[in-house]
Structure formats: structure tokens, C-alpha cells
Amino acid sequence: MLVDFCLPIKNEALILEVSLNKLLTYCGRAGFSFSWRIIGIINGSSDTSADILWDFKRRWPGQIDFIEVVEPGRGRALKRYWSTSTADVLCYMDCDLAVSLDNLPALIMPLINNEADLAIGSRLTSGAAVKRSLFREFISQAYNLLSRFLLNHKIADLQCGFKAVRRETFQRVRPYLVDDYWFFDTELTLLALRFGFRVRQVPVDWRENRYQRRPSTVKIWRDSWDFLKNLIAFRRRLKKIKKYPGSV
């Protein structure tokens, strides 16, 4: 059993080396029962992220690798790599490692043990611990409430950057994934539900990390407006998508 731990990267040179060392150390000490590798997925970067990854790949061949996707978009980058990966489980986390790595076993093991097809980190379920600004907390809560109202689901947190999916599940859902940016998470989760796959929500310890005064790439008002438009468009698409035979 092979797991890919993927880091989508857009101009993350300020924090990339720290994050790679942290993830590499954690995985090396974890004693996982499965094989693993760390994959950097560079998308739309103009800094030295690729040089940093080349150095890590040279020092840890077979354990660390990366690809470059010229066009921007986290969703685009993940779809591009996951479509060709041979790993059994495809996992991704934000490059700042905002979610504690101690939450990785709870995310991965349900898929390894065939107890779930998709596992998603949740900052809004019982047992989660979150440290971020009140404004960002309000925006997150508002988005998830609005999505539940428009799309009629019971997922607490769609947008947490901490997810893992079985490769065969992703391949079934892949033809229906349209968005190349942040809405990718919502599409992946709700399409998996639509097709009857088992979705596990995992409470996480999440901290708003801003290493070395690293600026956030999230633009609150612009992204909120885009999310609203995407939710409405996705609602129309879902009505036209039939469930797979045997789905629940």
C-alpha cells in the first residue's frame, strides 16, 4: 500500500524547506504500516520553490519528488498529479502545515483499512481545535452554512486543506471535477457523497500559520464572491448528474 503526501505549492519558498523537513521527520518517525512518499506539486510559482525541491529530491531519492504545473490553481495541480499517480491513497495538505501532523493517522488509516473512501479534515466538528482570527472564522462558518443550505448536505467543513482519497474513488469522480482553484475541495467531497462513497470527517488541530510573515494567498471578499457563484453553478450541475448504480 502506497500513500502520496502532496503539498500544493505556489510561491512558498519562505516556508517550503521548514515544512518539508517537518513532514519528512514526522513520516520517518511515525512507523507507518504503509509505504509513503512526499510529492511537491508546484503550480503557477515564480520563486525558488523548484530549486528547493530539486535539492530535497537529490538528498532523498524515491522519498521526495515533485512536478511543475505552469498554470495556477490548487485544484488544477492536484488533478494533474493525481490523475497519473500510482499511489493507492492520495493525500494533500496545505504547505504551511496548518493542520497538526499528529492528525495524519486519523486521516489515512480509515482508507488503508477500507473503512472510508474519502477522509476530510474538519475544523468545525466536535473534537477540533482551531486558532485563527475571528473574521476568518466567521467567513468559514458562513460559507459552510450557505453551502449546506444551497446543496443540502451535512458536511461540517468543506474547505479544510487536509484530505485523503482512495485512488479508485478519485478516478471515478475525476470526470466531474470542473474547478481548478479552491472550489475543488467542495466538488470532490460532494461528488463523492453523490456517488455513494464513504466520507469520513476527521476533527483536526488547526493553527493559522504565517511563517516569516508569509502573506496569505486567500483574498477574502473576492474568494467569497467566487464561492457563491460556484455554489450556485454547482447546484445546477448536481441536478444533472445521476448517481452511480448501487450508490446510496
Residue whose C-alpha cell reads 470542473 in the numeric block: 178
DSSP state of 99: B
**Residue 55 designated active-site:** no
> Cα–Cα distances in Å, from 8 out to 14, 75, 182, 186?
14, 9, 12, 17
Instruction: Sort residue 114 into left (φ over 0), alpha (ψ -120 to 50) or beta.
Output: left
Q: Which of 117, 179, 185, 223 is catalytic?
A: 185
Q: Decide the pairing of beta strands 129-131 and 205-207.
A: parallel
Burial tier of 13 (Cβ tally within 10 Å: 0-12, 13-18, 19+) = middle
Burial tier of 57 (Cβ tally within 10 Å: 0-12, 13-18, 19+) = middle
Q: How many other CB atoms sit within 10 Å of the CB of residue 142?
A: 12
For residue 11 the three cell numbers come to 510561491
Which sequence positions are flagged as catalytic? 185
